[in-house]
Amino acid sequence: MHVKRFKVPLYVIATILFGLKTYIVYRVLFNIELDNAMQELILFINPFISAFLVFSISVWFKKKTRQMKYLRYTALIGSFIIFANLVFYRSFTDFITVPQLFQGGNAADLGSSILNLIKPYDILLFADAAIIWWLGSKREEQMAVHYLRRSKVFALVLSLMLLAGNFFLAEMERPQLFTKAFDREYLVKNIGLFNYHIYDTIVHSKVKTQRVFADGNEIPEIKHYMEEHIRSNTKSDLFGIAKDKNIIFISAESLQSFVINNEVNGQEITPFLNELVEDEDTYYFENFYHQTEQGKTSDSEFLIENSLYPLSRGAVFFTHGQNEYNGLPELLQQADYYSAVFHANGKSFWNRDQMYDSLKYDYFYGVEAYEVTKENSVGWGLKDKPYFEQSMKYLQSLEQPFYTKFITLTNHFPFELDEKDRSIEPYDSNSNTLNNYFPTVRYMDEAIELFFEQLKQANLYDNSIIIIMGDHYGISANHNRAMSRYLEKDEITPFDHVQLQKVPFFVHIPGHGKGKVMDKIAGQIDVKPTIMHMVGLDTSNDIYFGNDLFHDDRKGFIALRNGDFISDDYIYTSSICYDRRTGEPLEQNIEDTNGETPVENACTPIAEKVETELEYSDQIIYGDLFRFIDFNDTP
């Protein structure tokens, strides 16, 4: 008797292979934190559910050839999506968003940075796609199956039911996941990488319509929040101290605070900056945090110029460079300041040419203003020492007072430096990124010291206020193992990770004599109002979310773009409320007045303000709300 052999459809094989591969990538190559068994279960099932949903569409193709072709190309495209996210994740510990796909022009400038992020074993990510391709092309007759209509409907219904079950479990594990989706890692580990990309596409389509339907009615509510929680009617002791003085702002690439007053291989990492910390003319903020997201350096620029938060997806410089802003360069024009940016990179990178025009900068000295050779460049371009040296002739020619921003390059991933430029040797750990970070930080420290000397020789030093700020982190969470070794810790906890988001912030006022180390909680959102008050400008008609750093009447917290925050008493991250002084997790809930029902944890009141500020800032950017305001009107 002839027994009919049972065929395993190729879409089922593809689901198993692709789902298994994706799960392995989640657990081995992505640094996804799992807190309990439910999260582990959701992380395990979501790649198979996503794969089944996509591959089962093949059953609707009547022709075997089209059926097989769909499966082959879908597996290949899916593998490439995982690969692209992995390369991106290795640099930013984050996942790609739709706006960043439109920033692909930046890739041409990344050069060796991308090559350093690609590993030889990444080819294995395409192994399942190769198997599916071979089976779909060489074994088409054996793999293809003719499906009855009820089988097609069954496959569709089953895939949708599995997806609904996944979403149900995700919502149970993380309530309001889709309405408060500040953290992309939570989305990926709860609904899967591919469903995350679909969600991100929907969100992107939604926000693109916000400008069309915005009418300015949102502004009074935002202003009311500012008056209640942010604005102060009194002036700090340093109000007007910068009047008629030049303001020189140095954006120090990837500089984190853990290197300040620290050593590697028995040598100081930043000897000059260490001296500045103790200088009587310098205010050093030891609890100053970067607040950037996917736009990194461009996000830090956006923060300091506008005192608005960057977007959670993409870079504002790219997605909303054409908006109306009330930025620092434009406001300083009221005090007759000339403004310029010095950066030895292309004008189109991060869409700076358009964004600087929107911010009303008077001039941008880009890469074409510099003499860049093979000998004086490394990594991303012109080395910091020749960069500052070549900038001096332009700086001396500017009409005073001026507001200038210098953006350094050398201390940029992958932290390359010629042997002859090294003053200290690399660290010795399992992370080449961390190892090479220290020599490039030292080189930047030396370059800034030389720049101070050049300012003195050019007779610009005494009449200038020099501000130095780390723009964002340099060492991502992917290097926690090496970082824990350097910091002599057993591990880098979520609390430690937030503390590593501190970046140096110096305000150097030659001849001032009253400088000191400031321990107040501060962030990049505070830079614009601080500079405005130092210049003596009226801020009563402006909209911003930071405070004057020299004022005691402050809101008392710094919000990170993912919804985490640092306050005077607490640090909130990974859904855990920590005591900021001890680093110990606090009780999850506090009791109500009757001592019965737990109503909130200690961080909840601040978390609500953080959410409000982020939403208001997003409304301003997505709706281009400043186009409805005449900031020249008296309040």
For residue 245, what are the contacts with CB-CB under 8 A and spacing of at least 6? 401, 463, 464, 465
What secondary structure, in 3-state letters, does 106-149 show? HHHHHCHHHHHHCCHHHHHHHHHHHHHHHHHHHCHHHHCCCCCH
Q: Is residue 225 part of a domain?
A: no
Residue 582 has pLDDT above 70, yes or no: yes
Residue 610 in any domain: the answer is no
Whether 388 and 450 have beta carbons less than 8 Å apart is answered as yes
Nearest-angstrom CA–CA distance, 623 and 370: 38
What pLDDT sits at residue 173? 75
Token pair of 524, please? 């990049």
- Last residue within a domain, chosen from 499, 526, 541: 541
In a domain, 152, yes or no: yes
Cβ atoms of residues 195 and 43 within 8 Å: no
At 588, is the pLDDT very low, low, confident or very high (cuts 50, 70, 90)? Answer: low
Q: Are residues 182 and 272 in the same domain?
A: no
Task: Provide the pLDDT confidence category of residue 417 given band limits of 50, 70 and 90.
Answer: very high
Same domain flag for 172 and 91:
yes
| Spatial distance between the Cα atoms of 224 and 228, rounded to a whole number of angstroms | 6
Strand partners, 508: 282, 466
- Check whether residue 74 and residue 159 sit in a common domain: yes
Final residue in a domain of this structure, among 516, 541, 566: 541
* Final residue before a domain boundary, out of 151, 185, 208: 208
- pTM greater than the 0.75 cutoff: yes
297 assigned to active site: yes
- 392 and 266, same structural domain? yes
Is the same domain home to 447 and 497?
A: yes
Q: Are residues 182 and 250 in the same domain?
A: no
More confident residue, 534 or 85: 534
- Give residue-wise pLDDT tens across range 232-248: 888 999 999 999 999 99
User: Is 553 within a domain?
Assistant: no
pLDDT of residue 505: 98
pLDDT digits (tens, 9 = 90+) for 327-337: 999 999 989 99
601 CB-near residues (< 8 Å, 6+ apart)? 577, 586, 587, 588, 589, 590
- Of the listed ranges 7-21, 202-216, 308-322, 387-401, the least confidently predicted one is 202-216
Asked if residue 548 is part of any domain, the answer here is: no
- Is a pLDDT exceeding 60 seen at residue 145? yes
Overall domain count for the chain: 2
For all residues of the chain together, what is the average pLDDT? 88
pLDDT of residue 188: 86
Q: 408 is in which domain, residue-wise?
A: 245-541
Distance CA 294, CA 202 (A): 19
Q: Are residues 14 and 150 in the same domain?
A: yes
Asked if 436 and 389 sit in the same domain, the reply is yes
**455 and 368 within one domain:** yes
Selection from 503, 518, 509, 546 nearest residue 252 by Cα: 503
pLDDT at 105 over 80: no
Please indicate whether residue 146 or residue 530 has the higher confidence score (pLDDT): 530
In-domain check, residue 571: no
- pLDDT confidence of residue 142: 64
Angstrom distance (rounded) from CA 357 to CA 310? 18
What would the two tokens of residue 425 be? 């040797």
pLDDT of 290 strictly over 80: yes
Residue 596 is assigned to a structural domain of this protein: no
Looking at the fold, whether 100 and 170 belong to one and the same domain comes out as: yes
Q: Which of 97, 297, 319, 493 is catalytic?
A: 297
Clarify whether residues 200 and 320 are in a common domain.
no
In terms of C-beta density within 10 A (0-12 exposed, 13-18 middle, 19 or more buried), how is residue 303 classed?
buried
DSSP letter string over 234-288?
A: S--TTTTTTTT-EEEEEEETT--GGGTT-EETTEES-HHHHHHHH-TTEEEETTE
DSSP string, 377-445: EETTEE-HHHHHHHHHHHHHHSPSSEEEEEE--SS-TT----GGG-SSPPP-SS-HHHHHHHHHHHHHH
- How far, in Å, CA of 78 to CA of 58, rounded? 15
Model confidence at 325: pLDDT above 50: yes
Residue 619 lies in a domain: no
CATH of the domain at 461: 3.40.720.10
Q: Which of 182-191, 308-317, 339-348, 564-573 has the highest mean pLDDT?
A: 564-573
Candidate from 372-381, 444-453, 484-493 with smallest mean pLDDT? 372-381
Same domain, 168 and 283: no
